[in-house]
Amino acid sequence: MEGQFGAGPYVGGGTTTTTTTQSTAVNTSLRFDKEYLRSIPGMLKAVVMVINIIAFICVSSSDFHYHSNANWMSFCAWAGFFTTGTLLLFYCLHLIEKFHFIPWLLVEFIYCAVWSFFFFSASCACASYGKASNWFAAAAFFGFCSCLLYGLDAYMKFVDWRAGRVAQGERIVTTTTVASTPAY
């Protein structure tokens, strides 16, 4: 009877051992990978860079471009543009893979979450002057778009980081199960 003896690891007197090993396979040579631009993270970075430029142009075209709200949006747009562009270049050249020991997904998650908040605050500041200038309203719209895209990217990086994935390269997980029976 199964209920009487149970179905645990000691059924029949044997034991089962499961071993899981992980290794990261990376190619540390620098090379240009245009396929990254066709991936979802690559397209997301490219689109957010374009939107950052548009937000900057909108706020700079306003009659109130000297206002502190415009300066805050300009800072967010330019800093986001250059940092995201640098990350995009790193991914396209596989520099991320070369420096695989840095927790890139965690770094990018924090960067995207912070920049999402920054764009939210800058967009709210520009929206408060939307009636005074249509350019501020347009900058606020594009700032909110950047906020959403950075938020989406932060979410994707967080999910990948929690799943134990690597930013570039391969994580190889091997599971070995060994069952042994006692010698009688």
CB count in 10 Å sphere of residue 161: 18
Give the residue-averaged pLDDT of 148-174: 85
Angle at 99 between CA 93 and CA 103, to 5 degrees: 115
pLDDT over threshold 90, residue 1: no
- Report the pLDDT value the prediction gives residue 123, as an integer from 0 to 100: 95
Q: Which of 162, 150, 62, 63 is nearest to 114 (CA)?
A: 150
- Report the pLDDT value the prediction gives residue 19, as an integer from 0 to 100: 64
- Considering only residues 63 and 70, tell me which one the structure prediction assigns the higher pLDDT: 70
The distance of Cα 13 from the centroid of its chain, to the nearest Å, equals 49
pLDDT over threshold 70, residue 180: no
Q: How confident is the model at residue 72 (pLDDT cuts 50, 70, 90)?
A: very high
- Report the pLDDT value the prediction gives residue 101, as an integer from 0 to 100: 86
- For 115-157, the pLDDT digits (tens) are 999 999 999 999 988 777 889 999 999 999 999 999 999 999 9
Contact by Cβ (8 Å): 13, 182? yes
- For 97-106, the pLDDT digits (tens) are 888 888 999 9
Q: How confident is the model at residue 87 (pLDDT cuts 50, 70, 90)?
A: very high
Locate 8 and state its tokens. 């645990």
Lowest mean pLDDT among 45-54, 98-107, 163-172: 163-172
Locate 9 and state its tokens. 């690891």
Rounded CA-CA distance 73/111 in Å is: 17
Percentage of residues in the chain having pLDDT higher than 70 = 76
pLDDT over threshold 90, residue 170: no
Q: How confident is the model at residue 2 (pLDDT cuts 50, 70, 90)?
A: very low
- Considering only residues 89 and 173, tell me which one the structure prediction assigns the higher pLDDT: 89
Dihedral pair phi/psi, residue 8, rounded to 5°? -85, -170
Sequence ranges of the domains in the chain: 30-174
Alpha helices, H only, 28-133: 40-61, 68-92, 95-98, 104-127
SS3 19: strand
User: Given CA atoms 175, 102, 46, 146 in this order, what sign does their dihedral have?
Assistant: positive
